[in-house]
Chain A
Amino acid sequence: MRGNSVILEVKDISKHFGGLTAVNRLSFEVQEGTVFGIIGPNGSGKTTSLNCINGLFRPDEGRIFFRGREIQGLPPHQVAKIGIGRTFQVPKIFKRISVMENLLAPVLSSPRTDQELKAKAREHLHSVGMLEMEDRLGEELSGGQQKLLELVRILMFDPQILLLDEPFAGVHPTLKTLFYKKIHELRKQGKTFILVSHDLTSVYALCQQIIVLDQGEKIAQGRPEEIKRNERVIEAYLGR
């Protein structure tokens, strides 16, 4: 694992949709090798923030740095190539192609041979207990299996940061445990995570640093124990 250097820096980014401000002057830094949580009520700008980081949205204002390199405005495929992987709230599995082809999708421009890439894909499938499913179509997997496939799929291109959007939503407890295990294992290998979730128990258990968004603005930042006690956070969630 690398030292605690800043791997991602978000500086004053804003994103508007017509008259709606989805994200307003948001800033935060993510330390390398940590799990960084983003929580907040529905519509608070969590997913929009991820979309700005991975290039699906171009922020209207502000800058984003990955290892010191300015990345806002880069197209998503270039953001992926520099080492930022992303999963979605509703898994974006390619349903009418096989599990193996799903896994090969992120490495199509790799100089490695097809056989090497397939061997790597099988290792990843084995790590989540899905090895026998490589020939199945994406649509033949259960919801939980689709989430797992999406996670191991981004691992194929060996990203340095993984942006996970609601990875625990609608997932069976057994599968959730597998997710925890995988995140711990990857963190030990030096991977950094940005975790967006409504599952506060998981966020508190996994994250070292958390920010809380409400109506596009950051209302709190700190360690899990600090966030749990924060009055503004409690108010935002419970509406008191």
Chain B
Amino acid sequence: MRDRKESTPSRMAAVWVRCGPAALVLCAALVPLAAPSISSYIFYLMFWITMASAFNIIFGLTGYLPFGYVAFYGVGAYVTAVMWSRLGVPIPLSILSGGVLGVALSLLFAPTLRIRGIYFAIVNFSCAMALRILVANLPEAWTGGSLGISLSAIYNPNASFYTMMALMVLTIWTVGRVSGSRLGIALRCIREDPEAAQVLGVDVVRSRLKAWILAALFPSLAGGVEAWYTAIIDPDSSFNLLITTKTIVYAMFGGLGTVMGPVIGAVSLYALDDLIWGKFPMLNLLILGLLIVLLVLFLPRGIVGTVTRRHASLRAVIR
């Protein structure tokens, strides 16, 4: 349900918004030709953009904070690794299986959507932690126990790089489509006031379930692609709470509920995070914690949310 008009002051922004992402993707496509460190940097940047954008569907648009969001990533990584290493399924199909299992997991967790706010966050976090323990205690013949699974035999950084790029583009495109659609309006209404949305005829249960499934699909696929790229997985890194935390912070910093927000948030904060990690490895988490505090205090709507609030003419362009 995009609107028709575009005011004069927002034309520059419109050009940036329309051409910028295409130019970035084009540049990124050439990255595997560069040094491995640059390739790795861009791979993880695309990974975080995918995670933050997908997270935006359920938190930014719908208002549910899944604090155990890492569970989908972890399941995607493990299913991919198990399917390939134990069952001999080709890697593309293994990654897709991870996506399917991630969606199945979201359906299993779906009843928790009846609760909201901090209660939902805590329950979701508990589910993710339970899943981590379950995976770590499954027979070693399947999951490799605490040592995890090696995928070194199919290590292919270039193919996994381009797969992540495709996934990132697909995620951003999906978020854009959902945000501009009737479903997007329904989700924003649910985020604002589910009771009022119901009274107006919005099918809250069905709409939020669609959002939840979409929000689960992309991190599950991303988990599989990242497992392929790194060629090793283990329970500690696949179910690391820091993945949820960073996803939330990146999405919030850019602007929840907007399409461009999580992209801008991931690009700017990942660069900062990388810089801090390189210069002050011991202080990385401390600085991340401080950043969250500052973010909540001074930029609760994120970069895009703050800019569009102050400049109404940009709302039609930067979504």
Contacts and interface: CB of A to CB of B under 8 A. Distances in A.
A157 B196 contact: no
Q: How large is the interface on B (under 10, 10 to 19, 20 to 34, 35 or more residues)?
A: 20 to 34
Chief secondary structure at chain A's binding surface: mixed
B286 interface: no
21 contacts: A54-B199, A75-B198, A77-B198, A77-B201, A77-B202, A77-B204, A80-B198, A80-B199, A80-B201, A92-B193, A92-B196, A94-B189, A94-B193, A94-B196, A96-B192, A101-B185, A105-B189, A105-B197, A109-B201, A118-B1, A157-B200
A73 to B, nearest CB: 14
Nearest to B183: A108
Interface of B: 1, 3, 182-183, 185-186, 188-189, 191-193, 195-204, 257, 309, 312, 315-316
Question: Which 4 A-B residue pairings sit nearest by Cβ, starting from the closest?
Answer: A92-B196, A80-B201, A76-B198, A94-B192
Nearest to A104: B185
A96 B202 contact: no
Nearest to A139: B309
Contacts of B204: 77
Given A97-B185, A136-B312, A56 B197 contact: no
A144 interface: no
B195 A105 contact: no
A55 B201 CA distance: 11
A80 B199 CA distance: 6
Interface in A2-42: none
A88 B196 contact: yes
B198 A86 contact: no
A109 B201 CA distance: 9
A153 interface: yes
Given A97-B192, A98-B315, A105 B199 contact: no
Interface in A94-143: 94-98, 100-101, 104-109, 114, 118, 135-138
